[in-house]
Structure 1
């Protein structure tokens, strides 16, 4: 587990992985690019990608401007398929990876209700000492409202629109335009095979599984922000401030929700519910098994005085 499943758990769960709604796993498939928008369950989803494509077949990319994306794609040997073993590109990156590949590329992403996403991001920063923005936020004791208007990060200013439009940080904080939203919506329509909703994670994953011919996805929830107040506990004025700074993301999220509901409604209900139940069943077994395995591994490492095995 961790990056690899234990052989015993693989045998236990293997019989549940096949889905009759999906094409055979040996069929040729184009590579995918997962745009991981911060605090949208992307870390959890990346573990699913690892199991579908294999860690060695995934190129990790972090790029928030077109120039950064080009440099990353070139340095990783992904551009022009210099590395034919790469089946997926994944990370905090803006749209545009297909421009550096000689062939088709299917984009995937998850989006989240913008107010909840920003609240989660703020409390994640506060509990993560190695985060880029931990020092100003904690040292200067930023409130959530302070963080939203600070301008220290685009994460509080239409980051979902920025990343899906492919513009990213090339537009300054507070300067997003409706043209960026139009570009993002066009990209969703023309290039994205899967657009998941964080709030409907399992259904979103099941839709992607059926569309892309994946084996049954298994995952343990990762990187969830803990010990944060509920949305209802956030002052109205602060929530209004978040909405004002993420007006484009609110529209993009609504558009993505409508697409999700359209795609969900097209599924044959009994077959889809069967796949969804199978997903729930296998992860009720898999997730606690991973948690136990990781706890035991950490305990052994502490006893032996080592960082990992």
Structure 2
């Protein structure tokens, strides 16, 4: 069983998940990185990451000791190259609710005395989710769940990785987690404006999650994929199967007319920092026989399942 890298975004049910993981794996099989000043940070992290600044020796010892999980309030890019995109997991949450939840957490646990606006206007609390995921396309992450769909998310994660992590809900500031925090119109508008990147990001994440869940319910394999470039002359991107090293085949359609079937087996050097499957041989590129007309609709569809990777207008 390969180890998992859990990117713990604050106030997304991450504490509940990692405590559930402790019950499943055993605390001794988990390494934590919650900053060098945190008591929760593991000795192996303090030694190799913060004192000796030697990530390679850290990972060699981590692997030699057969740890099962690496978790922390860290950017996804910090460890994804060591454990790999397919073994990286996280949870995302509605940005407005996440910000307000973090404020009340600071009031309860950090003795924060300011009001809500004084908190959410601080730069370090703005667009937290996109900042933590910076440089790591969410489409590449092996698994992500939604805080609002925690039980379903956990079911999907267990199925994907062959685990049996049970649901434990901890660190909740309210008894009823199904009711949104109440805000004035002014507060909501300002939070949304400040966190525009996270708002756009979360909408994309929700759509992607629904697609993953639909395939999961149908017993079909999800394809991680992204169209990186689309022009009248060509289309390119990458795609790989979740937990499957087979080459992905894609149908290219223009205005619903099939123009080609291609395989995703070109090297994508830019993805190597994510340690993707197939050693990075997951890319595709197709040159249209004639430049497409403005307004043409290009679709990229997974041959095996019909999963839609893109539906874009030129």
Place the TM-score, normalised by the shorter chain, in its bin: 0.5 to 0.7
Q: How does 1:56-75 map to 2 (within 5 A)?
A: 56-63=28-35, 71-72=49-50, 74=54
CA distance in 2, matches of 1:59, 1:208: 19
CA distance in 1, matches of 2:18, 2:127: 22
1:18-51 per-position Cα deviation (integer Å, ceiling 9, x unaligned): xxxxxxxxxxx22110010000000000022223
Question: 2:170 corresponds to which residue?
Answer: 222
Cα deviation for residue 220 of structure 1 reads: 2.4
Residues 148 and 241, structure 1, Cα contact 8 Å, conserved in 2: no
SS of residue matched to 2:142: strand
Alignment equivalent of 1:189, drawn from 130, 139, 142: 139
Residues 31 and 105, structure 1, Cα contact 8 Å, conserved in 2: no
Residues 30 and 104, structure 1, Cα contact 8 Å, conserved in 2: no
Task: Say whether 1:34 aligns with 2:3.
Answer: no
Structure 2 unaligned regions, length at least 5: 37-45, 221-314
Cα deviation for residue 241 of structure 1 reads: 1.2
Alignment equivalent of 1:241, drawn from 185, 190, 199: 190
Alignment equivalent of 1:255, drawn from 186, 190, 204: 204
Residues 29 and 69, structure 2, Cα contact 8 Å, conserved in 1: yes
Structure with the larger helix share: 1
CA distance in 2, matches of 1:127, 1:54: 29
Cα deviation for residue 123 of structure 1 reads: 1.1
Residues 39 and 120, structure 1, Cα contact 8 Å, conserved in 2: yes
Cα deviation for residue 255 of structure 1 reads: 1.5
Q: Residues 107, 100 of structure 1: CA spacing in aligned structure 2 closer, same or farther, 3 A cutoff?
A: closer
1:138-161 per-position Cα deviation (integer Å, ceiling 9, x unaligned): 1xxx2211111134xx1x211111
Structure 1 unaligned regions, length at least 5: 1-28, 166-182, 272-309
Structure with the larger strand share: 2
Q: How many residues align?
A: 206
CA distance in 2, matches of 1:87, 1:35: 14
SS of residue matched to 1:127: helix
CA distance in 2, matches of 1:264, 1:205: 12
Alignment equivalent of 2:69, drawn from 57, 66, 88: 88
Cα deviation for residue 268 of structure 1 reads: 3.5
Work out which of the two has the higher radius of gyration on C-alpha atoms and give 1 or 2: 2
Larger RCO (CA within 8 A; separation ≥ 6): 1
Q: Residues 87, 256 of structure 1: CA spacing in aligned structure 2 closer, same or farther, 3 A cutoff?
A: same
CA RMSD, Structure 1 to Structure 2 (Å): 3.1
